[in-house]
Structure 1
Amino acid sequence: MTGSSQRGLPTVVLAGRPNVGKSTLFNRIARTRRAIVNAMPGTTRDVLAQDAMWQDVAFRLVDTGGIFGHTEDPLHAMVVEHGRRAIAQADLIIFVVDGREGLISGDEEIAATLRTANAPVLLAVNKTDDKRARDRMYEFFAFGFDHVFEVAAEHGSGVSDLLDAVVAQLKLQGSLPSTGADAPSDEIAVAIVGRPNVGKSSLVNRLLREERVMVSDMPGTTRDAIDTLLRWHKRTFRIVDTAGIRRPGRVASSHAVEMVSVLTAKRAMERADVAVLVLDASMGATEQDAAIAGEAERLGCGMIIAANKWDLTKGSGDDHYKQFDDDQRYRLKFLDYAPLLHISALTGERAPKLLETVDRVAESRKRRVTTGELNRFLERVTREHPPSSKDKRHVKIMYAAQTGVAPPQFVFFTNVATSFHFSYERFLVNSLRETFGFEGTPIRITVRRRAGRDRKEK
């Protein structure tokens, strides 16, 4: 921990140019009107402090006022000194910028100062309550900070996500008491999906009978659904109910059965972190399986392919494993990143392996790569394989940033407005997956032209 308030609380400091909305954000977080909000730069002259709380975690919130602005106020030098002292003693810094104005020179100067601070920095792009401001927020990734948030402090939009990150960072820094080694990890929501009669119910029942699993039933978030909680190796898995896929009932046609299966799977996967697509090993993947898998890809779910009833294929010859796997990879080409397991719900073969794999995929889906690691990766791969675009223009990737997780999302900033050739985008995705271990999760890529640096401070 780099610093704390006199009351023993961790200190979170707001920093930024005048009139970017620090006072509004201060009031929003502290739920007070102590800071005066006005359109005149430098209205918050003093360094303000207020205790705040989020998720039962208390911290000291400090607004540095106008320490980065310019004024003829004779007390300004004292304010600057107090503000810089607050930054030096901070446990965490929230760097607030104005999304409507975009990136200007004053922001760059502050960013350079904050890079030398001893505390981690969260970048809050404020006033992003219109499309133009949201489009401009990508300019600020050029600063190289790992955590960037889109907020509208006046209306409260995005502030909860920012505060979630504040609490997570304070815990990571050791600024808050640990919950203990035996505290349960976050739940992993798992959707067991697939066609009727492939053994989904049997698989869930097998998992519940594993001796290391503790079970309880609780209502799910959708009407008439029961989710099942499994506790395994200090991890908690929530099996999302997919009863509608198991019993299509008196549906008139096979086409209608397929529609029911896909739609029910979609509802389950909308609530899931990881989807397990269960296949019948005696049949392999069908068009219906591909449709369900396509929904998982679109929703950004982690994905595992589980070939059930593998016990029925025993004695098929040494080449059967490879032939089967090659065939499924061909039928489900777009799921080449998904682990493929051979299991038997009847005998329990590799059932524990399935839970291990779900755990790994859920972790990789939430994995965040630092901007430094990402740009070192970028330097290497572009040197070995220069980028290509659809319109065959000369493209240079200037830098990149991870903009989100679950699933991982990346923005690549280029010298020209273009999009990558599909083969190069696939190369980047595969390289990211191989380098950083993104197992079983889709990866989203966006290409943007780097913003110009010709706007001056207003």
Structure 2
Amino acid sequence: CGIGYTCGQYVKKIPKLAIVGRPNVGKSALFNRLCKKRISIVDEAEGITRDRLYAKADFFGRPFELIDTGGMDLKSDVPFNEAIFRQAEIAIEEADVLVLVVDGQVGRTHLDEQVARILKRVDKPITVAVNKVDNLDQLDRIHDFYSLGISHMEGVSAVHGLRVAELLETAFRDTIWEEEVEIDDGALKVAIVGRPNVGKSTLVNHLLDEDRCLVSPIAGTTRDSVDIDIEVGGKNYRLIDTAGIRRKGAEHEVVDKFAAIRTERALERCDLCLLIIDATEGLTTQEKRIASEIES
């Protein structure tokens, strides 16, 4: 199904991500980490997850559906094994993107290779999540898995949440996100933009006469675009506080990259753009570049 209209409401197709792999590699732990809830039971025993489990999750403000599956091993003697395997196959068919979870502590196994071959039969983006990489010094564990023939790979720790954002960025690399249609309620949308730490959130708080947005002297405190409705003189306005626009090379963290994307989206949907400049520093090259982006 794609975009459609039902009962006057906008219907949006939400991408689905299936987590698959051999038994006991941490699929359910990763599922719980991504959906930020303990929905799937995590245990060292094989065959705990049997049915497909679904949950809504969020990728930097963009919703997607997560599917947890049982361990894929046709030779296993756990109860209902054939049905568990079939449930995983259905999830693979249903999903838009696939994440193959492997165990970075154990290393590559013959069963990992079998599951990888199954996934490569379908024409869908595949990412290998090398789990149990509990610190950055262990990232070299991923090299053992390149022989699976899947080029996109991330070392992660489902338990500690290490590099989970990077995993999602890689998994959704080819995804085209369908935008929600914003209902026009007549409010004038004003995007407040500028370099980091020039006082955008401080201005919003002053206009509202309340501490609505988090303010600190640390550049990059605001990481999302925040919509705030305000009425002035009988007219409705929607203030959009945005993350500071950095130079492209200065976006080191994944969260910074997606904060920049959210700011770009705010620029696209606003009616009026207010560029904030630090009077003590004057007009910089960065401000000139931002002004050029606004005009384009």
TM-score of the superposed pair, with normalisation by structure 1: 0.38
Q: Secondary structure at the match of 1:154?
A: coil
Q: Is it true that 1:87 corresponds to 2:92 in the alignment? A: yes
**8 Å CA contact retained: 1:126, 1:153:** yes
CA distance in 1, matches of 2:248, 2:20: 40
Q: What residue in structure 1 maps to residue 162 of structure 2?
A: 157
CA distance in 1, matches of 2:136, 2:98: 27
CA distance in 2, matches of 1:46, 1:232: 53
**8 Å CA contact retained: 2:33, 2:161:** yes
Larger RCO: 1 or 2 (CA < 8 Å, sep 6+): 2
Q: What residue in structure 1 maps to residue 38 of structure 2?
A: 33
- Which residue identity lines up with residue 287 of structure 2 in the other structure? T
Change (3 A) 1:73 1:136: closer
Q: What residue in structure 1 maps to residue 113 of structure 2?
A: 108
**8 Å CA contact retained: 1:10, 1:91:** yes
Change (3 A) 1:166 1:234: farther
Q: What residue in structure 2 maps to residue 311 of structure 1?
A: none
- Which residue identity lines up with residue 178 of structure 2 in the other structure? P
CA distance in 2, matches of 1:24, 1:142: 25
Q: Is it true that 1:59 corresponds to 2:64 in the alignment? A: yes
The alpha-carbon deviation at position 143 of structure 1 amounts to 2.4
Unaligned segments of structure 1, at least 5 residues: 181-186, 192-213, 238-458
Q: Secondary structure at the match of 1:170?
A: coil
Which residues in structure 2 correspond to 1:190-209 (within 5 Å)? none
The alpha-carbon deviation at position 8 of structure 1 amounts to 4.1
**8 Å CA contact retained: 2:72, 2:115:** no
The alpha-carbon deviation at position 118 of structure 1 amounts to 2.3
Which residues in structure 2 correspond to 1:353-364 (within 5 Å)? none
Bigger helix fraction: 1
Which residues in structure 2 correspond to 1:51-450 (within 5 Å)? 51-68=56-73, 70-130=75-135, 133-171=138-176, 176-177=177-178, 189=247, 216-218=275-277, 227-228=286-287, 230-231=289-290
**8 Å CA contact retained: 1:215, 1:228:** no
Q: Is it true that 1:44 corresponds to 2:49 in the alignment? A: yes
Change (3 A) 1:177 1:8: closer
The alpha-carbon deviation at position 117 of structure 1 amounts to 1.4
CA distance in 1, matches of 2:137, 2:246: 36
Q: Secondary structure at the match of 1:122?
A: strand
- Between the aligned residues of both structures, percent identity stands at 30
The alpha-carbon deviation at position 69 of structure 1 amounts to 5.9
CA distance in 2, matches of 1:81, 1:111: 16
Number of residue pairs matched? 200
Report the structure number with the largest CA radius of gyration. Answer: 1
- Which residue identity lines up with residue 230 of structure 1 in the other structure? R
Cα deviation, 1:297-343, whole Å, max 9, x if unaligned, reads xxxxxxxxxxxxxxxxxxxxxxxxxxxxxxxxxxxxxxxxxxxxxxx
Cα deviation, 1:340-382, whole Å, max 9, x if unaligned, reads xxxxxxxxxxxxxxxxxxxxxxxxxxxxxxxxxxxxxxxxxxx
Q: RMSD over aligned Cα, in angstroms? A: 3.6
Cα deviation, 1:262-284, whole Å, max 9, x if unaligned, reads xxxxxxxxxxxxxxxxxxxxxxx
Unaligned segments of structure 2, at least 5 residues: 3-10, 182-244, 250-272
Change (3 A) 1:217 1:100: same
Change (3 A) 1:134 1:215: same
Change (3 A) 1:102 1:132: farther
Q: Secondary structure at the match of 1:111?
A: helix
- Which residue identity lines up with residue 60 of structure 1 in the other structure? E
Change (3 A) 1:43 1:224: farther
Change (3 A) 1:7 1:14: farther
- Which residue identity lines up with residue 58 of structure 1 in the other structure? P
The alpha-carbon deviation at position 105 of structure 1 amounts to 1.3
CA distance in 2, matches of 1:28, 1:114: 23
The alpha-carbon deviation at position 55 of structure 1 amounts to 1.5
The alpha-carbon deviation at position 135 of structure 1 amounts to 2.3
Q: Secondary structure at the match of 1:230?
A: helix
Change (3 A) 1:230 1:90: same
Q: What residue in structure 1 maps to residue 23 of structure 2?
A: 18
**8 Å CA contact retained: 1:123, 1:149:** yes
Q: Secondary structure at the match of 1:163?
A: helix
Q: What residue in structure 1 maps to residue 260 of structure 2?
A: none
The alpha-carbon deviation at position 190 of structure 1 amounts to 6.2
